[in-house]
Amino acid sequence: MKITFLGTSHGVPAADRFCSCSMIEAGDAVYFIDAGAPLVESVLKAGRQVSDVRALFTTHVHGDHTAGLFHLADLVDWYYREHSMDFYVADGCLVDATKGMIVACNGGKAVHEDRVRFHVIDPSVPYEDENIKIEFIPTKHMPEPYHSYSMLVTEGDRRVLFSGDFSNRLAKADVPELLSEEPVDAFICEMAHFGVEDIKPYLDTCKAKAVYFQHVFPLVKYDGIKEISKSYDFPIYTPNDGDSFEV
């Protein structure tokens, strides 16, 4: 699979960074994890078509991870009428809000739910198609009754773990245990809600072949990441928007 970082900024965009958004290309399909960057423009810039987009997964409801969802869902509803796709969200409130906006845009007509398919994530039910499997691992970033997830993406024997957002200072110990238990090809991790020192114990036992820190705030943490990266056998990267890698 090929992962492209479309948005690497923290909760606020910068002149050269959109908010959280990653594009996954696997088989003949395109998937998104989070929607903090313009999705249609990004697909077209990558030389793909909106009709290639199979599904969008949002790790939690915060706007820096979901802002682009409405625009894509609305366009699939009224413009890309030959296309159908799935939207997986952490909480039903996002489904209700998005549907409400589409209905208003349509002048009161119902959403084409046979083509614009919304799902509230059930962590006991992974997403699976002929290309990839995505497992949803609850994190404690969001207070109850809301939900947030890390996501483990598998294609054949390749696996990439996306952190989503974690708890402040990692105080709720919500880094997925599998990071220390099983090798993954890449761990794509946020770095806005805790310090470099807070994640260090998890890196000490980490079995990932490579770690990518994005969603970095404050920016001075880039220096800290560079410093600690010398201590590990695996590479630690800080990708910019547009960077990509394949596993």
Per CB under 5 A, residues contacting Zn ion are 62, 64, 165
The nearer residue to Zn ion, 62 or 159, going by C-beta atoms, is: 62
Q: Whose CB is nearest to Zn ion?
A: 62
Q: How far is the CB of 194 from Zn ion (least distance, A)?
A: 12
Q: How far is the CB of 217 from Zn ion (least distance, A)?
A: 9
CA nearest to 245, candidates 131, 179, 158: 158
The nearer residue to Zn ion, 25 or 165, going by C-beta atoms, is: 165
Residue 234 makes CB contacts below 8 A (sequence gap 6+) with 206, 208, 209, 210, 211
Q: How far is the CB of 202 from Zn ion (least distance, A)?
A: 18
The nearer residue to Zn ion, 54 or 62, going by C-beta atoms, is: 62
Q: How far is the CB of 51 from Zn ion (least distance, A)?
A: 29
The nearer residue to Zn ion, 21 or 50, going by C-beta atoms, is: 21
The nearer residue to Zn ion, 64 or 135, going by C-beta atoms, is: 64
Q: How far is the CB of 34 from Zn ion (least distance, A)?
A: 8
Output the 3-class SS for the chain.
CEEEEEECCCCCCECCECCCEEEEEECCEEEEECCCCCHHHHHHHCCCCHHHEEEEECCCCCHHHHCCHHHHHHHHHHCCCCCCEEEEECCHHHHHHHHHHHHHHCCCCCCCCCCEEEEECCCCCCEECCCCEEEEEEECCCCCCCCEEEEEEEECCEEEEECCCCCHHHCCCCCCCHHHHCCCCEEEEEECCCCHHHHHHHHHCCCCCCEEEEEECCCCHHHHHHHHHCCCCCCEECCCCCCEEEC
Q: How far is the CB of 17 from Zn ion (least distance, A)?
A: 13
Q: Provide the token pair at 1.
A: 């699979």
Q: How far is the CB of 20 from Zn ion (least distance, A)?
A: 6
The nearer residue to Zn ion, 62 or 99, going by C-beta atoms, is: 62
Q: Provide the token pair at 175.
A: 């880094």
The nearer residue to Zn ion, 42 or 163, going by C-beta atoms, is: 163
